[in-house]
Amino acid sequence: MQRLTPEQVEILSGQNAKRWMDSQPAYFGCPYNSMLMDEFIATQVGREYVWSWENFEAAYLFLREAGVLQLRPAAPPSDAELAHQAEQAKQEQVRTDYQNRVAAQQEAETAQQRATEKNMPLHVLAGIVGVQNAQLRKAGLPQRTAASTIGSRERARITDDKLGVHARARQNVLTKFPAVARDSAEFNRLVVAEKALLGE
């Protein structure tokens, strides 16, 4: 049997290498990996023999397990992928802006409603809340503050207003009559009279 020449060995080994690379798309055929594969097969088989498909596969599996092969770098995103990402970011920003506007509008409406209810007569407010609670119960939603709680809040506001009038009356008496003792009956009489002038 005629012995193959070195040129014939190299040609056949190259053909087997190409056939193996076509069957192994995960392999990254860079110069560094090619050097490692070449050195490994040369030490196992020798350079005077044809390197078979199995020789390349065995070298790849061994070097991959050893973790010495370079991995194929991630491909940069295409123009279509970049455009899709930009469109997604744009849509997300639109949704965020809309949610922020809705939240701000709801907050403003709530603040306006509270301001309106604060100055509303108690019996009118209780009637409105009663109607709203009936609608919320029908829809299975949490109800608003009960009328009794609203009444307590209203009474607290009225008490604070009265205390404010009393404080202003005392201050006015102190300014107008600095010589009158604060713990005297005359001082208390003057405070009552001043409160009457303030509309208490």
Listed by start position, the domains of the chain span 6-66
pLDDT of residue 55: 96
Average pLDDT over residues 153-175: 70
pTM assigned to the model: 0.39
Q: If you count them, how many residues does the chain have?
A: 200
CA dist 190 → 96, 160, 165, 180 (Å): 62, 21, 14, 10
Banded model confidence at residue 146, pLDDT cuts 50, 70, 90 = very low
Mean of the per-residue pLDDT values of the chain = 82
Least confident span in 55-59, 165-169, 174-178: 165-169
* Whether the Cβ atoms of residue 23 and residue 60 lie closer than 8 Å to each other: no
Instruction: Indicate the DSSP class of residue 112.
Output: H
Q: Which residue has the tokens 């208490």?
A: 200
Please determine, for residue 114, whether its predicted confidence score (pLDDT) is greater than 90: no
Q: Which residue has the tokens 């009489």?
A: 189
pLDDT of residue 147: 46
* Whether the Cβ atoms of residue 20 and residue 57 lie closer than 8 Å to each other: yes
Please determine, for residue 36, whether its predicted confidence score (pLDDT) is greater than 50: yes
Average pLDDT over residues 118-126: 69
Reduced to 3 states (helix: H, G, I; strand: E, B; else coil), residue 99 is helix
